[in-house]
Amino acid sequence: MSESAETEQPNPHAEAMLKLASAMLKATLIVVPPVAVIAVVVSLLVADQPGLIGSGIGVVLGFASSMTTLGMMRFSANLPPMFVMVVALGGYVLKLMVLFGVSFALRGIDGLSANAFAFSMLAVVVVAAAAEVRAFKTTKIPTIIPAS
pLDDT digits (tens, 9 = 90+) for 53-67: 999 999 999 999 999
Number of domains in the chain: 1
Tell me the whole-structure pTM to 2 decimals. 0.83
146: in domain: no
Write down the pLDDT at residue 11: 75
Question: Residue 69: which domain range?
Answer: 11-138
Does 144 fall in a domain?
A: no
Q: Could you tell me which residues come within 8 angstroms of residue 138 by beta carbon, excluding any fewer than 6 positions away? A: 23
Task: Indicate whether 114 belongs to any domain.
Answer: yes
* Cβ–Cβ under 8 Å, residues 106 and 57: yes
The confidence score (pLDDT) of residue 80 equals 84
Residue 130 lies in a domain: yes
Longest dimension (CA), the chain: 66
Question: Picking from 39-48, 56-65, 70-79, 124-133, which range would have the lowest pLDDT averaged per residue?
Answer: 70-79
The string of pLDDT tens digits covering residues 77-127 is: 888 878 888 998 998 999 999 989 998 998 888 889 999 999 999 999 999
CA 94 to chain centre: 13
Asked if pLDDT for residue 3 goes beyond 60, the answer is no
Is it the case that residue 17 has pLDDT exceeding 90?
A: no
Domain assignment of residue 101, yes or no: yes
| Average pLDDT of the residues of the chain | 88
Q: What is the pLDDT of residue 145?
A: 61
